[in-house]
């Protein structure tokens, strides 16, 4: 009888703004064992005191989707097992999930805005007009999830850099 453990690979990217606004995340791919706690750090700098933080998730061959939005200071937000708290005193919005699954393998990224509008289906992320073009830098990769016979074995990704300017 062969028993195997599974690893979950999480790839994320950094999204930076303009006018002194920026976010910083843990760098590089993160490999987490299935069932383990995952934490992705996000800290920010902003020129305005009112800011909104977002965690996006992008599964392979899918468009990015808002996973969590931090609109109120010191209030924990949760969705599908993920959670984050916008801590304005620390300027942080760290993403956590207590027991990751293989289906959580994706690209995760943190974004900052000073404006949010409400749409029919929930929150929309609408950066201020003065920001004009944002440069999105994405670490993109092919994900490999496979059983491993030893905790020392790792799951690998083939990352490449994609730069795209998009007028939001």
Condensed to tens digits (0 to 9), the pLDDT of residues 102-161 reads 999 999 989 998 765 444 444 444 443 222 222 222 233 322 232 333 333 222 222 322
pLDDT given at position 41: 94
Q: What is the DSSP string of 50-69?
A: --EEEEEEE-TTS--EEEEE
Q: What is the DSSP string of 31-43?
A: EEETTS-EEE-EE
What are the pLDDT digits (tens) for 10-69?
444 444 444 578 889 877 788 889 999 999 999 999 888 888 999 999 999 999 999 999
The closest of 39, 8, 4 to 101, measured between CA atoms, is 8
pLDDT given at position 22: 86
pLDDT given at position 142: 28
Strand 95-97: give its sheet, edge to edge.
38-40, 95-97, 82-85, 76-79
Beta bridge partners of 20: none
Neighbours of 54 (CB within 10 A): 24
Measured between alpha carbons, how far is 14 from 136 in angstroms, rounded to an integer? 8
User: To which CATH superfamily is domain 5-167 assigned?
Assistant: Immunoglobulins (2.60.40.10)
CA dihedral sign, ordered 101, 92, 62, 142? negative
pLDDT given at position 119: 46
Measured between alpha carbons, how far is 124 from 105 in angstroms, rounded to an integer? 24
The closest of 74, 83, 84, 60 to 140, measured between CA atoms, is 60
Asked whether the predicted pLDDT for residue 85 surpasses 80, the reply is yes
Q: Mapping DSSP to helix (H, G, I), strand (E, B) and coil, where does residue 51 land?
A: coil
| Domain ranges within the chain, ordered by starting residue | 5-167
């Amino acid at each position: 009888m062969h028993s195997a453990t599974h690893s979950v690979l999480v790839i994320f990217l950094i999204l930076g703004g303009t006018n002194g606004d920026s976010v910083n995340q843990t760098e590089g791919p993160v490999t987490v064992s299935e069932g383990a706690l995952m934490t992705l750090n996000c800290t920010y700098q902003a020129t305005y005191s009112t800011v909104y933080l977002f965690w996006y998730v992008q599964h392979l061959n899918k468009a990015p989707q808002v996973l969590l939005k931090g609109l109120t200071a010191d209030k924990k937000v949760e969705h599908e097992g993920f959670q984050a708290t916008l801590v304005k005193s620390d300027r942080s919005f760290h993403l956590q999930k207590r027991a990751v699954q293989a289906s959580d393998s994706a690209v995760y990224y943190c974004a900052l805005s000073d404006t949010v509008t409400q749409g029919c289906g929930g929150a929309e992320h609408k950066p201020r007009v003065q920001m004009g073009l944002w440069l999105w830098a994405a670490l993109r990769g092919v994900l490999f999830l496979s059983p491993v016979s030893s905790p020392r074995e790792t799951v690998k990704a083939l990352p490449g850099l994609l730069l795209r300017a998009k007028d939001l």
